[in-house]
Amino acid sequence: MPGTNLTREEAQQRAKLLTVDSYEIDLDLSGAQEGGTFRSVTTVRFDVAENDAETDAENGTGNGTESFIDLVAPTVHEVTLNGDRLAVDEVFADSRIALPGLLEGRNILRVVADCAYTNTGEGLHRFVDPVDDQAYLYTQFEVPDARRVFASFEQPDLKATFRFTVRAPEGWTVISNSPTPEPRENVWAFEPTPRISSYITALIVGPYHAVHSVYEKDGQRVPLGIYCRPSLAEHLDADAIFEVTRQGFDWFQEKFDYAYPFEKYDQLFVPEFNAGAMENAGAVTIRDQYVFRSKVTDAAYEVRAETILHELAHMWFGDLVTMEWWNDLWLNESFATYTSIACQSAAPGSRWPHSWTTFANSMKTWAYRQDQLPSTHPIMADIRDLDDVLVNFDGITYAKGASVLKQLVAYVGEDAFFRGVQAYFKRHAFGNTRLSDLLGALEETSGRDLRTWSKAWLETAGINVLRPEIETDAEGIITSFAVRQEAPALPAGAQGEPTLRPHRIAIGAYDLDPGGKLVRGERVELDVDGELTAVPQLVGVRRPAVVLLNDDDLSYAKVRLDERSLAFVTEHLGDFAESLPRALCWASAWDMTRDAELPARDYLALVLSGIGKESDIGVVQSLQRQVKLAVDSYAAPASRETLLTRWTEATLAHLRAATPGGDHQLAWARAFAATARTPEQLDLLEGLLDGSQEIEGLAVDTELRWAFVQRLAAVGRFDEAEIGAEYERDRTAAGERHATSARAARPTEEAKAEAWASVVDSDKLPNAVQEAVIGGFVQSDQRELLAPYTDRYFEVLKDVWESRSHEMAQQIAVGLYPAVQVSEETLRRTDAWLTSAEPSAALRRLVSESRAGVERALRAQAADAR
C-alpha cells in the first residue's frame, strides 16, 4: 500500500499518460468558524494519451487504461468518471482514487468529498485568534498537500488551470491566485488561473485586515496587497514591505527581461506557519512573526526583506517555469536565494548593500554544517519519492546550492548568466523543465561547456578545505605561495566519494593602516584546481599581516588561516574595515571550533576580543548564538560553568556599555537573558520586569519581557503564578506560545512530565504550540532532569512517526532527540534503536543527523579538555 507516498516512477508513468486541462474546485467553508470538515467538489478535465501496446503493458491491462488521482479526506461521497458513478469503497483507498477504464482523449472526473481542516500547517490550516475568537484559514500545499483540500494529480509537471469557487462566512475575505471577485451571497467565484502546478495554488480565508497599493512602471500596473489578522494590524509596517516589494519588481523584471507573469501580487502574513514563506502564485503566504510586535534589530528586517524577495523571485523561477520533478527542488530554492540576496545587494535604494556578508555568516554556515552530516548529498539529490523530498528542504538545497550558483555566475559572467536566464524564461514559460534546460541556455550565452562543472559541483557530495602554504625569506618577502585543496572523507553512512573540485577564488592581503584598520592591499583572483595550485602573482610581495583565501566569498569551501594570520586575527579580527572579510574570518573560526581544531575556550576568547568592535548586528547575533552553543555543547564539562560565567558577565558588560536604544543594546539584552545565572543577574531580570531597575534606553517591551520570563522560569524563579500574570498582559496567540514554553521550561519533574505528555501522549496541540512546548522542554542546563527522557524518546519515536503528520512528527523527532545528553551512551542508545527499529528512510535520516551532532560535540569536548 502506498500510504501517502508517491514514487518518481509512478509520477513519470502518470505524466506520460495524462495531460491535465483544468480543475473546477467548489469549497463550502461556511462552517469554518466551528471547524470540523468542509465539502469539497472537484471537477477535472484531462486527456489520456492514445492507447498502445506499450501503455497497456505499463498499466497491466490490455482492455483499457487506468491511473489514479490523489486525495486525503475523511469521507468520499461520490466519484463520477465520464458520467459513470464509481463505487467509492472500491476505488478510494490509501490517499488515492483509482481511475479505471479511462478513455482515449478527453475525460471528465467529478469527486465529492468531506475534507478536514488541520492544525498542523498542512493542507487547509485553521487557527482561532484568542484576541477576537475569529477563525483564520490558509492553505499550505508544498509538497503534496493540495490533495487535502481537493482531488488532484499531485505532481509538479501536471500543470493545469484552476478555477476556485468558495462559500465563506459573511464579512470574511477570500484570497486566491486570481484577483479577488466581488462575492455574491457569500460566494466568491474566481477566474481561472494560468497553467500552474497544484502545489502553488492557494486559498486564504477569514476576516483578514488588508492594505492595498499598486506597482506601476512604464505602463505596467500590478495590484499589490498585504494582509494580516486585525489583532496585528497596529504593528503592520505596510509601507516598508511595499518598498522592498517594489525594489524587487524593478530589479527582477530588468534582470529577467520578463514581465511579472500574474495579474496581482498579494502577501499574506498568516498564523502558525511552518516555514518562512510559500511562493503561491500571486498569493504569497508568510509567517506572521514577520509582523514585528516589539522592537527588533535591523538584522530581523534584513531577513524579512530577503524572504519577501525570495518569494517574489519564485514567481518567475518556480511558478512561471517549474521543475519537472522534485530532484530539481534545489535549483528552485537556490535560484530564489541567490537572486534575492543579489537584489538586496545591488538594487538602487536597498537598505542592505552588505547582504552578502549576511549570506556568508548565516546561510553558508548552515550549508557547511549540513554538508558534514551523514545525510549529506549531491546538490542535485536523487529524489525517489515524496518521503525523500519532505526531508530535503535543507542547507544543501538552499544555501549550498545558492553558493554554487554564485560561483557559476562568476564562472560564466553575470551578463551571460542573466541572458541565459532570460532565454530560459521565454522558452519555457508556464512549462516544466530539468536542470539541463537551464545549463543549455547558459552554455549558449556564455560559450562555456558546463557539463564538467555540473558533474563536479552538482553531482557530488561533501565540502573542500582550502589552506594557504606560504614561505618567506628573512626580510618577510614571499618566496613561495600555493593553495592546498583537501577533500575530507565523507561522514560515515554518506554516499559518494571525496572530490577535489575547481574553485574560482580571490586571495586578499590585509595590513593595518595608520588608523588601525585592517585594509586590503593586494587582491589576486584565480582558478584553484587539484591538490595544489601555485600562486606566482604573490611571489616577491611582502608578506601581509593576514592572508585570506576565498576573499569576497566567491566559492563554496571551508577556509583555513595560516598560523601567522590566525594569530594576528585573534588579536585584530574586529579591526577589518569591511564587514565581509570579518564575517569570513568569524565563519572560519567557528568552523574550526566545530571541527575540534579550535578549543571552545579559545573560540570564546576570540569572540570576546573582537565582538565589541563588530558593527554588523547580524554578525553579532550569530556570534552570540554560536558562543552559547560552543559553551553548552563543545566545552569540556569540567570547565563549562566557568566559561558560562565568563560569557554571561561579558554579555552584561556589553549590555551596560551599548548605545542606549540601539540594536546592539537589544541584542546584548537577549544574550544576557539567555544565560543569566547568579542571584544578582536574576535579580536584574526581575527588576527590569517590574520596573524597579532600569538600563538607560532599554525598552522592556512585550517580546523582551517574555525572554526574561522564560529564563526566570527555567531557573525556578518563576512558576505558574508569574507566568500566568505575564500571559494576562499579553493574551494573544504569541503570548500563549510564550507562556506554554515558559511552563515547559520550569526545572521540575512535574513540569517536564506535563510537557512531555502534551506533545507525545496527545496529538491535540497545534503545530506552533507543540513547537513552543518542545522549545521550553529542552534546556541545556537541565541535563540531569531530562536524562530519563532518552529512553522514553526511543520507546515512542516510531509510533509517533507513523501516526502523526509529517510536520508534527518531524518536530518531535528532531526537537526531542536527547541532543543535550552528550555522551557515548547516547550514541550507543541511538545506534541500538537504528538497528532494531527499522525506521523509514526519512526518519532514519533525521535521527542520524541528530546523532552526528552528539558525536561532533564529543570530539569538540575532548579537544577543549586537552
**Measuring CA to CA, how many Å separate 542 from each of 537, 557, 585, 794?**
12, 26, 21, 59
**Overall residue count recorded for the chain in this entry:** 866
CA–CA dist 258, 316 (Å, integer): 8
Sheet containing 105-116, strands listed edge to edge, beginning at the edge strand earlier in sequence: 84-86, 75-81, 105-116, 37-48, 18-28, 161-167, 187-189
Strands 265-270 and 220-228, bridge-based pairing: parallel
Residue 30, Cβ neighbours under 10 Å: how many? 17
> Do residues 647 and 675 make contact, with C-beta atoms less than 8 angstroms apart?
yes
**Measuring CA to CA, how many Å separate 280 from each of 176, 199, 430?**
9, 8, 14
CA–CA dist 358, 360 (Å, integer): 5
How is residue 626 annotated by DSSP? H
**Measuring CA to CA, how many Å separate 674 from each of 237, 590, 677, 692, 728?**
29, 20, 9, 21, 23
Percentages helix, strand, coil for the chain, rounded to the nearest 5? 45, 20, 30
Cis amide bond preceding 143, omega within 30: yes
How is residue 659 annotated by DSSP? P
CA–CA dist 735, 728 (Å, integer): 9
CA–CA dist 713, 733 (Å, integer): 20
> Do residues 408 and 453 make contact, with C-beta atoms less than 8 angstroms apart?
yes
**Measuring CA to CA, how many Å separate 706 from each of 737, 752, 773?**
10, 20, 14
Of 606, 503, 484, which is closest to residue 551 (Cα–Cα)? Answer: 503
Q: Which residue has the cell 554579555?
A: 651
**Measuring CA to CA, how many Å separate 438 from each of 66, 90, 402, 454, 758?**
34, 44, 15, 12, 48
Kindly tell me the burial class for residue 512, based on how many C-beta atoms sit within 10 Å of its own C-beta (0-12, 13-18, 19 or more): middle
Alpha helices in 257-328 (DSSP H): 298-314
3-state SS class at 2: coil
- Whether 311 sits among the annotated catalytic residues: the reply is yes
CA–CA dist 517, 317 (Å, integer): 42
Which residue among 311, 333, 703, 771 is the active-site one?
311
Sign of the four-CA dihedral 608, 610, 615, 621: negative
First to last CA, the chain: 54
> Do residues 708 and 685 make contact, with C-beta atoms less than 8 angstroms apart?
yes
DSSP string covering 693-733, please? S--TT----HHHHHHHHHHHHHTTS--HHHHHHHHHH--SH
Cell numbers standing for residue 714: 527555567
**Measuring CA to CA, how many Å separate 521 from each of 356, 421, 524?**
21, 36, 10
Catalytic amino acids? 311
